[in-house]
Amino acid sequence: MAEAHATEKPVLVTGANGYIASWLVKKLLESGRHVNATVRNPGDKAKVGHLLKLGNQFPGKLELFKADLLQDASFDEAMRGCEIVFHTASPFIARNISDPETQLIHPALEGTRNVLASANRIKSVTKVVLTSSIAAVFGDARDIRKTGKSMFDESDWNETSSPEYLPYQCSKTIAEKLAWEMCAAQDRWQLVTINPGMVFGPSLGPTGSESIKIMEDFGNGTLLFGAPDLVFAIVDVRNIAEAHIKAAFSENASGRYICVSESLTYMDISKAFRKHFGWKHPFPRMNAPKNVVWAIAPLLGLQRDFVKRNVGYPLKFNNRRAVRDLGINFLPARQTVIDHFGQMLDQGAV
């Protein structure tokens, strides 16, 4: 982390009370950085209390700012004087989406546009690290057949998602593409994107992320009599925070970085849970037939086309760039999900 002390200029983290961002703020503070952190409402103690505790641990190093993804120039004040901008703020909703444009597409696109427009105005900014996703790399697991490869890599882009089909994946794709377009239109700041897989691991604060809902499914009996034969490309939230920091302060960092530790199925996770936590929890015991998953897909929060194009297909990603350029030593995926579920058990959340 020595690179992080190369300058005393503050850094900006947008959406700082989010799942990934909270760990990023923590690690930045631990490295000695001054962090400007934007949130929707700095006065909402329920949502920013964990950040206030971090601020107390590192006096004078953390300042909260109010900002709105959809408001022009909303990030100017927080960004002023900052050299590095970490843009993590973007909605992550994968279930029960009633209005994709309002819930996902518009805030992801306009939020990225507004943050990068501020970067264009604030002359101190030299690098933007954007939290993207493997959702911007691929749309469906079976798309790998079109690439002629066995694993997706940073050269791949999601070309199959739309506002109607997998709108979250669509929102991440169009937001990242916009970021690269805005970067190419200027020559002062550099862009690096972090493209995580499904992020699991312990949380520092309250979160309603999809990873929490998946963990709840393991604990509430939803999957007891059969889980979809789906693959999760898993990464630990602590590794993702580290990847953002390495991308920001490593001179060799450039372009996109797929950050995935390992790919595990529902049953892989279930077996790891049974081995660690025992048999008293309603973990799934078998895969459900694909036709059954297709029939009950809406009850599981899945689109039927998604079932057709993903259930039963392998899903792997090449993480060599992140290992080589950023020096990330990815935590084992089974340990990550065990840590996550264990925390939820301790908190009485499952």
- The three-state secondary structure class of 227 is strand
Question: Is 266 contained in some domain?
Answer: no
At a CB cut-off of 8 Å and minimum separation 6, what does 14 contact? 21, 38, 67, 75, 85, 86, 87, 88, 89, 111, 115
Question: Is 142 contained in some domain?
Answer: yes
CA–CA dist 318, 302 (Å, integer)? 26
Long-range contacts, 163-166 (Cβ 8 Å, 24+): 163/100, 163/101, 163/105, 164/100, 165/303, 165/305, 165/306, 166/135, 166/139, 166/140, 166/303, 166/306
In total, how many domains does the chain have? 1
Confidence (pLDDT) at 253: 97
Range of the domain at 150: 2-200+234-259+316-331
From first to last of its 350 residues, the chain has per-residue pLDDT tens of: 434 444 579 999 999 999 999 999 999 999 999 999 999 999 999 999 999 999 999 999 999 999 999 999 999 999 999 999 999 977 665 565 768 788 888 889 999 999 999 999 999 999 999 999 999 999 999 999 999 999 999 999 999 999 999 999 999 999 999 999 999 999 999 999 999 999 999 999 886 677 888 999 999 998 888 999 999 999 999 999 999 999 999 999 999 999 999 999 999 999 999 999 998 999 999 999 999 999 988 887 789 999 999 999 999 999 999 999 999 999 999 999 999 999 999 998 88
**Most distant CA pair in the chain, distance:** 58
pTM tops 0.85, yes or no? yes
Average pLDDT, whole number, for the chain? 93
Question: Is 346 contained in some domain?
Answer: no
Question: What CATH number has the domain bearing residue 76?
Answer: 3.40.50.720
Question: Is 347 contained in some domain?
Answer: no
Question: Is 20 contained in some domain?
Answer: yes
Question: Is 309 contained in some domain?
Answer: no
- The three-state secondary structure class of 270 is helix
Structure tokens at 313: 């297909």
Convert the pLDDT of each residue in 77-115 to its tens digit: 999 999 999 999 776 655 657 687 888 888 899 999 999
Question: Is 123 contained in some domain?
Answer: yes
Convert the pLDDT of each residue in 190-242 to its tens digit: 999 999 999 999 999 886 677 888 999 999 998 888 999 999 999 999 999 99
Question: Is 30 contained in some domain?
Answer: yes
Confidence (pLDDT) at 1: 40
